[in-house]
Amino acid sequence: MKTAQEFRAGQVANINGSPWVIQKAEFNKSGRNAAVVKMKLKNLLTGAGTETVYRADDKLEPIILDRKEVTYSYFADPLYVFMDGEFNQYEIEKADLEGVMVFIEDGMTDVCEAVFYGEKVISVELPTTIVRQIAYTEPAVRGDTSGKVMKTARLNNGAELQVSAFCEIGDFIEIDTRTSEYKSRVKA
């Protein structure tokens, strides 16, 4: 069993005998050191979707599914296409990528993991840490090198996140895909 807060987008849980893929998971602190996780789920048997909330320490049974390393190849509206090392292509719908869509961009080289339910790819998981380039942000704040003062930055795919105030356009940054948060600035 795993706690709700340990589940990530793309993973599958057995809930009342049905496999549910977590399409999106949002963690929030509620009160008195407690927390909740809001999840967008899709039933892999019926295709039905639902939104749900768990206490962060609620226990869920994970389902271990087949996985294969893939890289993003191209977008063929409305499907995203990934390719494995043997040039097999796997198509996946945007809704099934919701939890990681903000990190998908043309030319990305991250080695991802496609998750299979039977023959079908039901999700793609990104590495825990990825590197992305800042396409736009306001000019760096002089004098602040602490990294504690934050500002908004836009990535090449249009996604926005908070980064340290000293980051500049063209900088490469590390992002934690579990929390979608900026980690640090890195050298290209």
Give Cα 141 distance to the centre of its chain. Answer: 29
Given 53, 111, 141, 149, the residue binding other proteins (CB under 8 A): 53
**Quick check: 22 and 41 in contact, CB under 8 A?**
yes
Phi-psi region of 143 (alpha: psi -120 to 50; beta: other; left: phi over 0): left
Between 57 and 93, CB nearer to other proteins: 57
How many Cα atoms within 13 Å fall on the side-chain side of residue 91? 6
Least separation, in Å, of the C-beta of 123 and other proteins? 19
Asked if 30 interacts with other proteins (CB under 8 A), we say: yes
Select from 1, 2, 34, 69 the one that contacts other proteins (CB under 8 A): 34
- Per CB under 8 A, 145 contacts other proteins: no
CB-neighbour burial class of residue 18 (10 A; exposed 0-12, middle 13-18, buried 19+): middle
What Rg, from alpha-carbon coordinates, does the chain have? 18
Residue 58 CA to residue 12 CA, distance in Å, equals 15
Q: Which of 5, 6, 19, 26 binds other proteins (CB under 8 A)?
A: 26
The tokens describing 94, both together, are 């945007």
Taking the least distance from each CB to other proteins, the nearer of 55 and 67 is 55
Question: What three-state secondary structure class fits 158?
Answer: coil
Residue with tokens 């942000």: 137
Site for other proteins (CB under 8 A): which residue of 3, 8, 58, 185?
A: 58
**Sole window of 30-38, 65-73, 123-131, 143-151 interacting with other proteins (rule: CB under 8 A):** 30-38
179 belongs to the binding site for other proteins (CB under 8 A): no
Nearer to other proteins, 9 or 41 (CB): 41
Taking CB under 8 A as the rule, does residue 95 contact other proteins?
Answer: no
User: How far is the C-alpha of 59 from the C-alpha of 52, rounded, in Å?
Assistant: 14
Among 31, 47, 118, 139, the residue binding other proteins under the rule CB under 8 A is 31
Q: Is 152 in the site for other proteins (CB under 8 A)?
A: no
Contact 37, 54 (CB under 8 A): yes
- Where do contacts with other proteins occur on this chain (CB under 8 A)? 15-16, 20, 26, 28-34, 36, 38, 41, 50-55, 58
